[in-house]
Amino acid sequence: MFTNFSPTEIVFFLVSLLIAMIIHEVMHGVTAYWLGDTTAADMGRLTLNPFKHIDGLTTILLPLLLVLFGLPPIFAAKPVPFNPAKVKFGEYGAALVGAAGPITNFLLALIGSIILHIIGGGASVEVYNFFIIFIEVNVALMVFNLIPIPPLDGSRVLYAIAPEPVQEVMAKIESMGFLVMIGFIFIIFQFIATPFANMEISVVNFLLSI
């Protein structure tokens, strides 16, 4: 990924990623707060301070490890905590909290697209490149997080509508914690990387065309 980027574009990528991840996580907490759970607020996570959201393992070490293995780097911020038992509407409330992150990334990508359309041909190459990268980063985070595998956001949505036997399996998977993500990234994701990329390209093209 970075091999095709200029130094300036790498900076644009990292800035876009930081903005996208932080607002994504904050909106999880804000949505939970609106639904009655103050866990994130009580822990000081409803903030745009990047140091509250950067995780040494998933934000720094994991992407570096993936690059060393020749794989696309996948970044993740420190998840904003929430208590599903405290939100309104039970499982559906928890699904709304989960969906808030990907929806936020789509809206950020949409805003970037609108700004790009407004400035049009008057934008410098650097400004144009920044917004293209900003849009692509947010769309990638949205699509990736919609994958319904715990602990990704899509799993919260699936859990709310899945039958009880499926919920039990998902709960067992989620209880395995970070090991699930490692296995998913190094094994399963390799088989879905192409459709994932195609979906990302389709959404980016849609946003740039409206």
Q: 25, 126, 168, 200: which one is catalytic?
A: 25
The amino acid present at 70, given as its one-letter code, is G
Tallying the residues shown for the chain, one arrives at 210
Q: Cβ(135)–Cβ(113) under 8 Å?
A: yes
| Residue 123 burial (10 A CB sphere; 0-12, 13-18, 19+) | middle
153-161 and 90-119 helices cross at what angle (nearest 10)?
140
Alpha helices in the chain (DSSP H): 7-34, 39-42, 62-68, 90-119, 125-145, 153-161, 164-175, 178-183, 189-209
Calpha distance 131→119 (Å, rounded): 11
Active site residue 136: no
Q: How many CB atoms neighbour CB 26 within 10 A?
A: 23
Q: Active-site positions?
A: 25
